[in-house]
Amino acid sequence: MSFTHKHILGIEQLAKEDIQLILDTADSFKEINSRDIKKVPTLRGKTIINAFFEASTRTRLSFEIAGKRLSADTVNISGSTSSVVKGETLEDTAKNIEAMAPDIIVIRHAHSGAPHYLAERVGCSVVNAGDGAHEHPSQALLDLLTMREHKGDIEGLEVAIVGDITHSRVARSDIYALTRMGARVRVCGPGTMLPIGIERLGNVEVFTDMREAIKDADVVMMLRIQMERQSNVMIPSLREYARFYGLNPTNLQLAKPDAIVMHPGPMNRGVEISSVVADGPQNVILDQVENGVAVRMALLYLVSGVESMQTR
């Protein structure tokens, strides 16, 4: 099985075998992160540009570390300090970046579809690090790697995703990835945060009562209430949201006793997740962060392999 995707724009385009290969590759790379010398020469001489036009700590850091551990040269540009603030269009920015001959552009953008737009206009590989409310493929892949490590197999898992499903690119990518790997997904949130027609994505069940949604679940994934975005108009108050859709030690007991608790971060402690649960024995939140580096190493390695096959 060889990987043929030059760009990683979303999970939607990936087949089950692709996801499997990415997870296996990440699994092999993971060992590097526990060495004293955390660097291998695999992508020596490659240039990776991390173009983050939207705020991010975890993802940008994770991609940067992933590139550096593979010996690529990573360069970061961020929206607030780039020519974007001077009114340059994304296309012009992209053309200018391309003139400096990078091998991979990792892009985070507030607008859905920006990575696709870029991929059509540049010659190098494009990796989506989150675009608007569309997809966040590397997050979904690190979630799957974490589930696989804790649960053995993803097929047959009952995964509850609770929060603002409509505006969550993490939820969308996770739903694609999980259903493709044979898990059953339950999405849950107040009616204002559930997109119409989401059940059509496949093995997805919709709940508005959180207790039903997490009952006997293997995985409970809490999404962040995006206070900086539209969340405040869709819920009456954070207190009310926390009461009905927050994960706490009491409602967590409804899930399977060995259920794992996940959160893509950054967490709003006391809103979607109580501190007791966030720091509790079932949380695997920092495993997710750790696996993020390995998954991103795998993505960078795999897309750059496709690139070199084409130019040969």
Partner 1 sequence: MAKAQTAILDKAGIKRAITRIAHEILEYNKGSEKLVLIGIRTGGDHLARLLQSRISEIEGVEVPLGSVDITMYRDDLAARGNLPIGKTDIPFPLDDKHVVLVDDVLYTGRTIRSAMDALMDFGRPSTIQLAVLIDRGHRELPIRADYVGRNVPTAREEDVAVVFDEKKSPFEVRLIKP
- Known catalytic residues? 58-59, 86, 108, 136
Which stretch in 19-27, 88-96, 137-145, 257-265 sits in contact with partner 1 by CB under 8 A?
Answer: 19-27
- 65 contacts partner 1 (rule: CB under 8 A): no
- 149 contacts partner 1 (rule: CB under 8 A): no
Choice from 3, 52, 63, 176 touching partner 1 (CB under 8 A): 3
- In the complex, least distance from residue 113 CB atom to partner 1, rounded to whole angstroms: 27
CB closer to partner 1, 29 vs 241: 29
Q: Tokens representing 103? A: 């091998």
Choice from 163, 246, 264, 305 touching partner 1 (CB under 8 A): 305
- 16 contacts partner 1 (rule: CB under 8 A): no
- 39 contacts partner 1 (rule: CB under 8 A): yes
- 31 contacts partner 1 (rule: CB under 8 A): yes
CB closer to partner 1, 103 vs 131: 103
- In the complex, least distance from residue 291 CB atom to partner 1, rounded to whole angstroms: 15
- In the complex, least distance from residue 154 CB atom to partner 1, rounded to whole angstroms: 20
Ramachandran quadrant class, 202 (left: phi over 0; alpha: psi -120 to 50; beta: rest): left
- 35 contacts partner 1 (rule: CB under 8 A): yes
For every residue of the chain, which 3-state class applies, written as one string?
CCCCCCCECCHHHCCHHHHHHHHHHHHHHHHHHHCCCCCCCCCCCCEEEEEECCCCCHHHHHHHHHHHHCCCEEEEEEHHHCHHHHCCCHHHHHHHHHCCCCCEEEEEECCCCHHHHHHCCCCCEEEEEEECCCECHHHHHHHHHHHHHHHCCCCCCEEEEECCCCCCHHHHHHHHHHHHCCCEEEEECCHHHCCCCHHHHCCEEEECCHHHHHCCCCEEEECCCCCCCCHHHHCCCHHHHHHHHCECHHHHCCCCCCCEEECCCCCCECCCECHHHHCCCCECHHHHHHHHHHHHHHHHHHHHHHHHHHHC
Which stretch in 26-34, 225-233, 235-243, 280-288 sits in contact with partner 1 by CB under 8 A?
Answer: 26-34
CB closer to partner 1, 5 vs 111: 5
Choice from 12, 20, 27, 68 touching partner 1 (CB under 8 A): 27
- 33 contacts partner 1 (rule: CB under 8 A): no
Residues near partner 1 (CB under 8 A): 2-3, 21, 24-25, 27-29, 31-32, 35-37, 39-42, 70, 298, 301-302, 305-306, 308-309, 312
